[in-house]
């Protein structure tokens, strides 16, 4: 009886192996995983040098893993099993209450303090008014939704450390209290690491308050839903967790006072709005704002008040810049992960008189692009 059972198992195993091998041959390799929001390993080329060094076997193992037949289905099954056994996280993502996903956060190390030095150097080398806005992650605002035993490092301490180490001229904008007061509103995505445009609006209000700028009231906007099928970066990292998708909404002025010209400098493209409809049909729907990140964007408006703002930023700024465009004649948007030129010459050449450094605090901890502020 036992021998017969073993034979059946062996036959099933052989048939499964043959079927999977055939599928591997028949199914075309995928270049990009929408589920994980990343490019997949391509079939590596075999060379004598790569074979001896072990590089080929390492790349081939990644290739087999990435191009495994029915991979997305297996990923979702794995996630379901982990949830069924009450696992609290997957790939560094916590499963929170009410469909919230949260990313683990560790105490910042030397890059964080180096970045503060670079910001201080930037402030010292310019004669413009500079504000610093470091936005907390959703777990800091919705800590009561974290699973039991989840213990990410307190970002309030990190933000306080940032504030205390900045030169006195820096206009630090603390948003934790502001966002906690609005936590019952839809200010963060549940499946993504960004804040929503409504969350960005409350950041915009605080920026205007600190800089004595008359903000556009929320009543002057209408909330427009652009998609109700947004699965963000947390969802991708958690590998197919079964949660409801987010909505992607924008704040659009009911009656706009100004017109805008958005220039994507190094792409040599222009637009009269801040959005790219192409991304509404893609997984990375947050890139609907400006079509994602670019090294340099300029926004020129018909608001002739002489105010010219430089925004040094990560992707968190993308949802807030359309709001700022109502208060400035020009906005110059620089992403130092891609922009590698002399920023101080750029400020002089364009007569910029205001500055805003806007980052998510997690990105600020690890971003090495800010080092360029110290090069010139």
Give tens-digit pLDDT for 280-312: 999 899 999 999 999 999 999 999 999 999 999
N- to C-terminal Cα separation, the chain? 79
257: nearest Cα among 159, 207, 171, 325 = 325
What's the mean pLDDT in 19-29?
54
CA angle (170, 173, 176) in 5-degree steps: 150
Using 50, 70 and 90 to split pLDDT, how confident is the model at 148? confident
User: 187: buried, middle or exposed (CB in 10 Å: 19+, 13-18, 0-12)?
Assistant: buried
Q: What percent of the chain has pLDDT over 70?
A: 76
What is the predicted pLDDT for the residue at 23? 47
Is pLDDT of 371 > 50? yes
Q: What percent of the chain has pLDDT over 90?
A: 70
What's the mean pLDDT in 8-14?
53
The rounded distance, in Å, linking the Cα atoms of 123 and 117 is: 10
pTM exceeds 0.75 for this model: yes
Residues 6 or more apart in contact with residue 269 via CB below 8 angstroms: 263
How far is residue 327 from each of residues 17, 22, 241, 270, 301, measured CA to CA in Å?
A: 63, 61, 41, 21, 9
What's the mean pLDDT in 130-145?
97
The rounded distance, in Å, linking the Cα atoms of 133 and 179 is: 13
The rounded distance, in Å, linking the Cα atoms of 234 and 101 is: 6
Q: pLDDT (tens digit, 9 = 90+) per residue, 252-267?
A: 999 999 999 999 999 9
What is the predicted pLDDT for the residue at 118? 96
Q: pLDDT (tens digit, 9 = 90+) per residue, 67-89?
A: 555 455 545 555 555 554 445 66
Is pLDDT of 61 > 60? no
Using 50, 70 and 90 to split pLDDT, how confident is the model at 43? low
Q: How far is CA 321 from the centre of its chain?
A: 15
What is the predicted pLDDT for the residue at 27? 55
Residues 6 or more apart in contact with residue 339 via CB below 8 angstroms: 295, 296, 372
Strands (E), the chain: 32-33, 38-39, 89-90, 93-95, 101-103, 129-135, 171-173, 221-230, 246-253, 260-264, 269-271, 296-301, 308-313, 330-334, 354-360
Q: Where are the alpha helices (DSSP H) in 108-232?
A: 110-125, 138-141, 155-165, 176-181, 197-210
343: nearest Cα among 117, 125, 116 = 125
Using 50, 70 and 90 to split pLDDT, how confident is the model at 347? very high
Torsions phi, psi for 261 (to 5 deg) = -130, 110
Using 50, 70 and 90 to split pLDDT, how confident is the model at 149? confident
Between 21 and 228, whose confidence is greater?
228
Q: pLDDT (tens digit, 9 = 90+) per residue, 176-232?
A: 999 999 999 999 999 999 999 999 999 999 999 999 999 999 999 999 999 999 999
Residues 6 or more apart in contact with residue 366 via CB below 8 angstroms: 111, 112
Is pLDDT of 104 > 60? yes
The chain-wide mean pLDDT, for the chain, equals 86
What is the predicted pLDDT for the residue at 92? 85
> Token pair for residue 246?
């987010």
Is pLDDT of 19 > 80? no
363 SS3 class: helix
Instruction: With beta carbons less than 8 A apart as the criterion, state whether 141 and 179 touch.
Output: yes
What is the predicted pLDDT for the residue at 83? 52
What is the predicted pLDDT for the residue at 215? 98
The rounded distance, in Å, linking the Cα atoms of 134 and 325 is: 20
The rounded distance, in Å, linking the Cα atoms of 132 and 160 is: 12
User: 173: buried, middle or exposed (CB in 10 Å: 19+, 13-18, 0-12)?
Assistant: buried
Using 50, 70 and 90 to split pLDDT, how confident is the model at 136? very high
The rounded distance, in Å, linking the Cα atoms of 6 and 12 is: 10
Between 64 and 344, whose confidence is greater?
344
Tokens 């610093």 appear where?
Answer: 132
70: left (phi over 0), alpha (psi -120 to 50) or beta: left
Q: pLDDT (tens digit, 9 = 90+) per residue, 44-60?
A: 666 766 556 665 566 55
What is the predicted pLDDT for the residue at 20? 47
What is the predicted pLDDT for the residue at 169? 77
Strands (E), 265-342: 269-271, 296-301, 308-313, 330-334
């Amino acid at each position: 009886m036992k021998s017969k059972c073993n034979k059946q198992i062996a036959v099933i195993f052989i048939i499964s192996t043959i079927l999977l091998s055939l599928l591997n041959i028949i199914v075309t390799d995928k270049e990009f995983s929408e589920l994980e929001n990343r490019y997949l390993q391509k079939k590596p080329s075999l060379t004598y040098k790569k074979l001896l060094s072990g590089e080929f076997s390492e790349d081939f193992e990644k290739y087999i893993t990435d191009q495994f037949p029915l991979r997305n289905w297996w990923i979702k099954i794995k996630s379901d099993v982990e949830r069924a056994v009450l696992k609290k996280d997957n790939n560094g993502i916590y499963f929170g209450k009410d469909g919230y996903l949260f990313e683990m956060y560790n105490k910042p190390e030397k890059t964080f303090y180096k970045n503060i030095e670079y910001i201080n150097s930037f402030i010292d080398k310019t004669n413009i008014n500079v504000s610093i806005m470091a936005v907390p992650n959703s777990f800091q605002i919705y800590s009561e939704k974290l699973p039991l035993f989840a213990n990410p490092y307190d970002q309030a301490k990190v933000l306080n450390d940032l504030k205390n180490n900045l030169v006195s001229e820096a206009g630090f904008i603390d948003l934790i209290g502001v966002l906690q007061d609005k936590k019952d509103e839809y200010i963060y995505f549940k499946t993504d690491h960004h804040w929503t445009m409504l969350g960005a609006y409350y950041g915009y209000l605080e920026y205007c308050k600190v800089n004595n700028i008359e903000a556009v009231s929320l009543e002057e906007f209408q909330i427009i839903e652009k998609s109700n099928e947004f699965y963000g970066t947390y969802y991708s990292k958690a590998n197919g967790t079964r949660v409801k998708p987010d909505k992607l909404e924008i704040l659009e002025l009911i009656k706009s006072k100004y017109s805008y010209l958005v220039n994507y400098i190094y792409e040599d493209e222009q637009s009269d709005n801040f959005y790219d409809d192409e991304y509404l049909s893609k997984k990375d729907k947050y890139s609907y704002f400006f079509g994602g990140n670019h090294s340099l964007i300029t926004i020129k408006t018909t608001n002739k008040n002489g105010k010219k703002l430089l925004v040094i930023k990560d992707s968190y700024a993308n949802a807030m810049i359309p709001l700022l465009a109502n208060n400035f004649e020009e906005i110059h948007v620089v992403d130092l992960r891609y922009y590698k030129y002399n920023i101080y010459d750029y400020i002089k050449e364009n007569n910029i008189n205001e500055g805003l450094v806007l980052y998510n605090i997690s990105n600020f901890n690890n971003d090495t692009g800010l080092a360029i502020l110290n090069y010139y």
